């Protein structure tokens, strides 16, 4: 179960990248502004640890994300790393589809075919 202090400090931990949608004593629903992914931090009833449920958008069901976290702060750190990973892969995919053209002047200087 999340403590009152953890729930109170959650918006500060999330920063501007996440919106806290819903909270109660046992779970917290968060949405990433950067990726649109939704997360539920689920508190274990027996101890202070928690686990994560994840979905890519509201049209698909949640699935359990691997791992167990000692606190909500550790879980938020994982969310931040996950978002960075997703955004990096989106950038790579975009760059593969939209390569930057090499200027013709550069190609002529290095005797490359136009």
Judge whether 54 lies within some domain: yes
At 53 the pLDDT is 93
Residue-range definition of the domain harbouring residue 26: 4-109
Judge whether 114 lies within some domain: no
pTM confidence score: 0.72
Judge whether 56 lies within some domain: yes
Residue 67 phi, psi (nearest 5): 115, 160
At 104 the pLDDT is 61
Q: Which residues of the chain have pLDDT under 70?
A: 1, 46-47, 100-114
At 81 the pLDDT is 92
At 69 the pLDDT is 87
At 114 the pLDDT is 47
Judge whether 100 lies within some domain: yes
Burial of 86 (0-12, 13-18, 19+ CB in 10 A): middle
Judge whether 38 lies within some domain: yes
Q: At what angle do helices 72-97 and 4-14 cross, to 10 degrees?
A: 20
């Amino acid at each position: 179960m999340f403590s009152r202090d953890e729930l109170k400090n959650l918006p500060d931990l999330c920063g501007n990248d996440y919106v806290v949608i819903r909270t109660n004593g046992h779970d917290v629903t968060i949405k990433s502004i950067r990726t649109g992914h939704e997360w539920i931090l689920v508190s274990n009833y027996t101890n202070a640890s928690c686990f994560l449920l994840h979905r890519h958008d509201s049209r698909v069901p949640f699935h359990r994300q691997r791992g167990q976290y000692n606190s909500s702060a550790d879980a938020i750190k994982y969310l931040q790393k996950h978002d960075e990973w997703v955004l990096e892969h989106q950038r790579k995919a975009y760059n593969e589809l939209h390569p930057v053209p090499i200027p013709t002047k550069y190609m002529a200087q290095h005797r490359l075919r136009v």
